[in-house]
Amino acid sequence: MTPFASFIPESLETRLQDGIAHALSLGAEGAEAFVSVSRSHKAKVQNGALEDLTVSKRGGLGVRVIRAGGKGFQTGLATTTDLTAPDFRHLFAQAWELSTLGDEDPWLRQADPSGTDDLPSRFDAAVEAITSEQRIAWALDLEAQARRASSKVAAVRESAWSDGSGASLLLTQKGVRTPDVWSSCSAAIELAVADGEDRQAAGHWDVSRHPSLDLSAIGAEAALKGERKLNPQRLPAGRYPVVLHPEVAVDLLGIVAGMLDAESVLKQRSLFAGKLGELIASPLLTLVDDGRLVEAPGRPALGTEPWDAEGLPTRRNVLIEDGVLKTYLHTLKTAAEMGMAATASAGRGFGSQPGATTFNLFPLAGDVAPEVLYRMVGNGVLITEIMGLHTVDPVSGDLSVGASGLRIRDGLLAEPVDKLTFAGNLRDFLTRIVAVGSDLRWYGSSAGLSILLEGISMGGA
């Protein structure tokens, strides 16, 4: 049995195809089935003792039926988590009935079959072979590595190893079939460091498609993050040159990508509505989303998939090039409505309609090492953590969030600072980029790097 068939057997596909045929017999213009199945394991330890060992299985089926109307199309969606049913005709019939309740949409589109899965396998059989004893041992080793990295680690709230695998499949009446099977492993630690009366929390994590994570590096990074927060000082309010840590850059660029969702643009809920072809950021910034990226530095790219959730072959999309907005993230529907080329950017869960997403989101690296950026700053701030980015106004771009980090004095990292207010407008931050680091780092399926911003207002508590 193939890895894919162990999750989604041929008999299930046959029943789904029968359901699609039944929907068409009811008069449907189109019918789709999207199924997703996964299984995962986790071992969690705390201060040298096993806290939890869990196994979970998830799976579900969503069927979408498309009804032709006088001015467009109506859709109905029905879902189930029971994949053992002898047939799914009842589910497609339910979706057919629900389609009468939706508004007509003249822009609804479906993909024609195209592309092949010519990408390296996203599945590693070694993940399925991991034992509970190995998971526990790796979680304990991660905790030990963090304690070994710093004598200031006072407690470990959680040290965990997780792994899982799964598969997904889209079938449509047009003949689209998009089998995908994957595996992943992750390790994460949350700890407390102490120095005298001061105690600070920190954590770090990493993820891979294979059981080859560097536990020593993860533990050391978590300990370093904690040490860099101990005994923070007050930052006088003012304007400073600011370096964003790669992990912070990931979060900010993720907010930008979210505002490039064409659905939000069409609803005038995006800062970047009507800005195609315009300079929206420093010419130093190029932002890419690549669904077919094979290798991220040192590892297989985690967001890579052969097809998007509508059945289009994934592709490389340059979202911002040399500061110029080049494209929005489209589903087939928004591409048709805006008269734009499809970007193969659809994602979906089994219980949702397709929506725009990113696969492997990253900025192009510059040629400036972080240490050189600090020397360029002279006296400023390295921001290592931002809290509250979800409060950014997607229409105006205004934000006022909490932050913490390190002072930069005479070009060197100095004392921690916290309780900062990082305020302004997202557009200003994008246009104030004066240097981009060479230190591209991946955090899951998104990457960031050090970014130097000039003249940022910072308030200290």
90-147 pLDDT, tens digit per residue, is: 999 999 999 999 899 999 999 999 999 999 999 999 999 999 999 999 999 999 999 9
Tokens at 258, concatenated: 């979210």
Each residue's pLDDT tens digit, 391-439: 899 999 998 899 999 999 999 999 999 999 988 899 989 999 999 999 9
Neighbouring C-beta atoms of residue 2, cutoff 10 Å: 12
Averaged over 265-279, what is the pLDDT? 97
**What's the average model confidence in pLDDT over 14-32?**
98
pLDDT in tens, 209-244: 999 999 999 999 999 999 999 999 999 999 999 999
**Using CA atoms, how far apart are residues 123 and 116, in angstroms rounded to an integer?**
17
Residues 238 and 213 in one domain: no
Kindly report the average pLDDT of the chain as a whole number. 96
160 and 297 both lie in a single domain? no
What percentage of the chain carries pLDDT values higher than 70? 99
Cβ atoms 73, 105 nearer than 8 A: yes
DSSP, res 229 = T
> Of all residues in the chain, what percent carry a pLDDT higher than 90?
93
- Structural domain contains residue 457: yes
Last residue of a domain, one of 222, 253, 279: 222
Give yes or no for residue 63 having a pLDDT over 80.
yes
pLDDT at 220: 98
Give me the CATH number covering residue 105: 3.30.2290.10
- Nearest alpha-carbon partner for 180 in 171, 192, 190: 171
Grade residue 448 by pLDDT with cuts at 50, 70 and 90.
very high
What is the per-residue pLDDT for 461?
Answer: 57
Query: Residue 102: its pLDDT value, please?
Result: 85
From 222, 249, 281, give the residue that closes a domain: 222
- Could you give phi then psi for residue 42, rounded to 5 degrees? -150, 135
Q: In terms of domains, do 309 and 341 share one?
A: yes
- Specify whether 130 is located in the same domain as 246: no
Q: Is residue 194 part of a domain?
A: yes
Residue 227 lies in a domain: no
The number of folded domains in the chain is: 2
- The pLDDT assigned to 64 comes to 98
Q: What is the pLDDT of residue 460?
A: 67
Whether 454 and 310 share a structural domain? yes
Output the pLDDT for position 299.
Answer: 72
Buried/exposed 196-228: b ≥16 CB within 10 Å, e otherwise: eeeebebbbbbbbbebebebeebbbbbbbbbbb
Whether residues 184 and 37 share a domain: the answer is: yes
Residue 251 belongs to some domain of the structure: yes
> Phi then psi for 8, rounded to 5 degrees?
-125, 90
pLDDT for residue 298: 64
Q: How far apart are CA 442 and CA 293, in angstroms?
A: 13
> Cα angle at 439 between 369 and 284, to 5 degrees?
80
Residue with tokens 């396998």: 121
pLDDT at 26: 98
User: Which structural domain range is residue 157 located in?
Assistant: 3-222
Confidence of residue 159 (pLDDT cuts 50, 70, 90): very high
Which pLDDT score, from 0 to 100, does residue 459 have?
A: 77
As given in the structure block, the two tokens for residue 136 are: 């526990």
Task: Say if residue 268's pLDDT is above 60.
Answer: yes
Pairing between strand 238-244 and 380-387? parallel
Task: Please choose, from the candidates 60, 70, 63, the residue with its C-alpha nearest in 3D space to the C-alpha of residue 98.
Answer: 63
For residue 367, name the pLDDT band (cuts at 50, 70, 90): very high
